[in-house]
Homo-oligomer: A and B are copies of this chain.
Amino acid sequence: MTRAATGELLVVGLGPGPEQWRTPEVEDALTRATDLIGYKSYIDRCPDYPGQTRHISDNRVELDRARFAITLAQEGRTVAVVSGGDPGVFAMAAAIFEAIDADETAREIIVTVMPGVSAMQAAAARLGAPLGHDFCVISLSDNLKPWSLIERRLTAAADGDFAIALYNPASKARPAQIFQAFDLLRAHKGGETPVAFARAIGRPDEKMVITTLADADPATADMATLIIIGSSQTRLVHRPGAAPWVYTPRSMPDSAG
């Protein structure tokens, strides 16, 4: 019995968009990969190297893409699976390990996860420092988890007075849930809580809306939007000729405990 050649799986994060936010580790991985796998919008961001095969996936089933990457690696290829942001935050890394978990033959593949700047970090940097203290990170997509769990987590995030970063707030198939999420948060948090809708940060169509929980229009969000909702301590700093800074102080009064 011949044993399959063992290739390499590079699970890379391109960051939010611009090259200035992409790590040298990821740049190097994109250079040495024999195969790139990912959505068209991510593959389009990668430099085009001769001899490299680009597998553009429009398949929304991430697990299929993970299995395909494993198969190529088992054939001895050096496969870069590309995500936007950080592959470890609502992206391909979890799907890759789910596929490896389900496939005994995949355990010997050399896998390297390469972190990247995630959308919440880019949004936070543009805003000031809204995630400067304790925070929660929640995906609003119920494609793979029950909505009841999302409600439980939003409630817990409010109970803990965390700042909150919301990923995947809305899509054409799920236009109503972001309204439900805001209704829930409004029942638990003050109306003056700062809210930011950060869309496509670092890309040409970047757009930022800074408002309050009482005034926020959930319809502002689409799939390219990252929403940040403050804790009870999050503040605005107004300044001349520009949007206010948004930050969460490091210190909390004793009464907030």
Residues of A within 8 A of B (CB): 15, 19-25, 28, 62, 86-91, 93-98, 100-101, 107-108, 111, 113-118, 121-122, 124-126, 128-139, 144-149, 152-153, 155-157, 159-162, 235, 237-240, 245, 247-252, 254, 256-257
Contact = CB atoms under 8 A, between A and B. Distances in A.
A124 B86 CA distance: 10
Contact of A149 (B19, B87, B157, B257): B257
Residues of A contacting B: mostly: mixed
Q: Which 8 A-B pairs have the closest CB atoms?
A: A94-B132, A156-B160, A148-B257, A97-B247, A93-B129, A146-B257, A145-B252, A20-B25
Given A160-B157, A249-B98, A136 B133 contact: no
Query: What is the oligomeric copy number?
Result: 2
A156 B162 contact: yes
Contacts of A254: 146
B23 A250 contact: no
A125 B152 contact: no
Given A149-B256, A156-B156, A254-B146, A249 B94 contact: yes
Nearest to A107: B239
A237 B160 CA distance: 32
Which of A88, A153, A156, A248 has most chain B Cβ within 10 Å?
A: A88
Contacts of A235: 101
B153 A96 contact: no
Given A87-B125, A91-B132, A97-B132, 19 more contacts: A19-B24, A20-B23, A23-B23, A23-B117, A88-B130, A89-B121, A94-B248, A107-B239, A113-B124, A115-B122, A115-B124, A116-B117, A134-B136, A134-B138, A145-B252, A146-B254, A146-B257, A156-B156, A156-B160
Given A115-B121, A115-B124, A134-B138, A237 B107 contact: yes
Contacts of A149: 161, 252, 256-257
23 contacts: A88-B129, A88-B132, A89-B121, A93-B125, A94-B247, A94-B249, A97-B132, A101-B235, A101-B237, A107-B239, A114-B125, A115-B121, A116-B117, A136-B136, A144-B250, A144-B252, A146-B252, A147-B257, A149-B256, A149-B257, A152-B161, A153-B160, A156-B159
